């Protein structure tokens, strides 16, 4: 019984390692698609700069096979816009709920 359990464990481990290698290969392929500038403002990205590597954001869309790079300023601006839109939608939903409550007797 122990032999079967070890065999199943080894098989599971082999499958896991194979999946890891496959995912790593896909990610490395996507890394090759990384541009040398911000996708929004086209500021150059210095691949040798530690600061750029730690502060710039990478967005990967695996299905579309698209990799986009964003500088901190553009990333912050985009997040501000997203927050504003979410707040506006929340206010509109709350106003819509209050309006629908008043129309019912």
State yes or no: pLDDT of 102 exceeds 80.
Answer: no
CA dist., res. 94 & res. 73, Å (int): 32
pLDDT digits (tens, 9 = 90+) for 13-36: 999 999 999 988 887 887 788 889
| Beta carbons within 8 Å of 33's beta carbon, 6+ residues apart | 65, 66, 67
Are the beta carbons of 47 and 36 closer than 8 angstroms?
Answer: yes
Domain limits, the chain: 1-32, 35-105
Find the mean pLDDT for residues 41-54: 93
Give tens-digit pLDDT for 68-87: 999 999 999 999 999 999 99
Instruction: Give me the mean pLDDT over the 93-98 stretch.
Output: 79
């Amino acid at each position: 019984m122990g032999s079967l359990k070890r065999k199943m464990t080894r098989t599971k481990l082999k499958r896991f390692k194979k999946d890891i290698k496959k995912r790593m290969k896909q990610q490395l392929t996507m890394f090759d698609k990384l541009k040398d500038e911000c996708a929004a403002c086209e500021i150059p990205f210095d691949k040798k700069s530690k600061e750029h590597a730690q502060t710039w954001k990478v967005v990967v869309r695996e299905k579309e096979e698209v990799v986009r790079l964003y500088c901190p300023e553009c990333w912050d601006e985009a997040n501000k816009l997203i927050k504003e839109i979410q707040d506006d939608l929340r206010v509109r939903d709350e106003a819509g709920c209050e309006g629908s409550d008043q129309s019912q007797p």
